[in-house]
Amino acid sequence: MQYRPLGNSGLQVSEICLGTMTWGQQNSEAEAFEQLDCALDHGVNFIDTAEMYPVPPRAETQGRTEAYIGNWLASRGCRDKVVLATKVTGRGDNNAGMDHVRDGPRLSKAHIFQAIEDSLVRLRTDYVDLYQVHWPERDANYFGKLDYVHGSDDGIDIHETLETLSQLVSDGKVRHIGLSNETPWGVMRYRQLAEQHGLASVVSIQNPYNLLNRTFEAGLAEMAIREQVPLLAYSPLAFGVLSGKYLNGGKPAGARLTLFERFVRYKGERTEAAAAAYVALAREWGLDPAAMALAFVTAQPFVASNIIGATTMEQLRANLASVELSLPEELFAAINRIHLQNPNPAP
């Protein structure tokens, strides 16, 4: 396992980060503990969660994922060995099904203060290393939306959100702050306000990035490098589609897209055609398709850490092993040819 700087935070994070959003829904607490123990044994020091997890979001399960992690940290006594990241839920009416979180979450001072206190209790810790805004307060292009239409500006101002996050840093409850599902304008606005007002500056951005969705490269990749706000890449396997298990109508038992019809982002004719082409390419090179897809993400110069998620130990071990794979230039070229023929079928 290699380690990379988390922006200019001074923290070094493993190139693989353990994602947790299935814990409490598809995975039990015992299974979460097993995954955490295995990841730590393999050199993973970075754990990512969120107050709204597990997914799909439901009132009866909300916060369960953080509680599992907190119980594991307490039982293992290893808080000092991990970089712990969580998120504050964004505006509820920008993402349906969030009314059970603080009666409709906002990114105001009162909401953020309540969110961090609740997360710290569940995580059984005094601080989190990275506290991220899960998605913007304002209307913006995220969760697959590309056709920006400017709406009303009735959201909580970014300045208030950033001032509150900075206060959490000053109070010692948060070491560093980051963004998630953000746009180039959003990143620069946070950076601009931090510089103007002497506030904490964001050190990372967590957005989707995979072979089926490389839209991060269009505007955010340059920013990630020049502004030292590297990507924490989520959905590197596109909900498992890039493993090939859903091809030709496949519906493996217990898999996310089999269980939950709401996840349609990585479905469609173009998506399946591109996935089939990447899977065939990997097999042509004698590689596991999932390993190739993960290695592609990890190799990008704007990526600080690749967030993997697994529901079985077999999947987890295979995903962790992807760090041993280095893709040759000829394979990168072949991947890019497929991309140019069918670009970003699942943004």
Active site residue 53: yes
What's the CA angle centered on 136, arms 203 and 206, to 5 degrees?
A: 40
Which candidate, 168, 297, 280, places its Cα nearest to that of 231? 297
Instruction: Assess contact for 265 and 346: CB atoms under 8 A.
Output: yes
Residues 6+ apart with CB under 8 A from 275: 212, 238, 241, 242, 244, 246, 247
**DSSP labels for 197-243?**
HT---EEEEEEE-BTTB-THHHHHHHHHHHTT--EEEE-TTTTTGGG
Residues 6+ apart with CB under 8 A from 219: 183, 184
Chain Cα centroid distance, residue 236: 9
Instruction: Assess contact for 66 and 123: CB atoms under 8 A.
Output: yes
Residue 148 CA to residue 64 CA, distance in Å, equals 34
Q: What are phi and psi of 174, to 5 degrees?
A: -135, 135
Alpha helices in the chain (DSSP H): 29-41, 64-76, 109-123, 158-171, 184-197, 216-226, 256-259, 269-284, 289-298, 313-321, 329-341
Active-site annotation holder among 3, 53, 234, 278: 53
Residue 98 CA to residue 76 CA, distance in Å, equals 32
Residues 6+ apart with CB under 8 A from 324: none
Catalytic residue list:
53
